[in-house]
């Protein structure tokens, strides 16, 4: 059985303070900062499954990001179409996001409460097996 949640992220009022906090407390669980894009940082052990982002301008009710794991690009497209049919705001149409990693295919929408919700499929890289997820 595959996990339902691929990764999730929170927006922080003070990214520097939050990075220090999560660098320290997650290390006690065997987790580490695996990616750092300056405005967003990903933590995990084999892949980043928890993200913190700069949400200083978002006020006290900052959105949450949740990514659901899909089994194919077709499922990502179906997720996107279903959300749009319900009136969801499109954040990113289904496409490859090579800036995340080769084979990362996702679509992002806003749910009725304003959260950033994604479906993602991790295609195997051409030279080897899929990421260890």
The reported pTM is 0.74
**CATH superfamily, region 64-126:** 2,3-Dihydroxybiphenyl 1,2-Dioxygenase, domain 1 (3.10.180.10)
pLDDT tens-digit profile, the chain (133 residues): 777 899 999 999 899 999 999 999 889 888 999 999 999 999 999 889 999 999 888 777 788 999 998 989 999 999 999 999 999 999 999 999 999 989 999 999 998 778 899 999 999 876 655 555 4
CATH topology match: 1-62 vs 64-126: yes
For residue 131, what pLDDT is reported?
53
| Domain 1-62 listed as CATH 3.10.180.10 | yes
For residue 4, what pLDDT is reported?
87
Structural domain boundaries of the chain? 1-62, 64-126
Distance CA 35, CA 100 (A): 10
Q: Could you write out the DSSP letters of every residue in 36-87?
A: E-SSEEEEESSSEEEEEEE-GGG-SS--EEEEEE-SSHHHHHHHHHHHHHTT
């Amino acid at each position: 059985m595959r996990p339902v949640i691929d990764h999730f992220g929170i927006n922080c009022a003070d990214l520097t303070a939050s990075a220090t906090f999560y660098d320290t407390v997650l290390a006690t669980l065997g987790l580490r900062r695996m990616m750092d894009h300056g405005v967003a940082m990903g933590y995990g052990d084999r892949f980043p499954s928890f993200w913190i982002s700069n949400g200083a301008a978002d006020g006290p009710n900052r959105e949450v990001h949740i990514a659901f794991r899909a089994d194919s690009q077709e499922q990502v497209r179906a997720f996107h179409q279903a959300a749009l049919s319900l009136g969801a705001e499109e954040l990113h149409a289904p496409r490859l996001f090579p800036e995340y990693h080769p084979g990362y295919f996702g679509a992002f929408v806003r749910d009725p409460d304003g959260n950033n919700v994604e479906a993602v499929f991790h295609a195997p890289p051409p030279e080897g097996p899929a990421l260890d997820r």
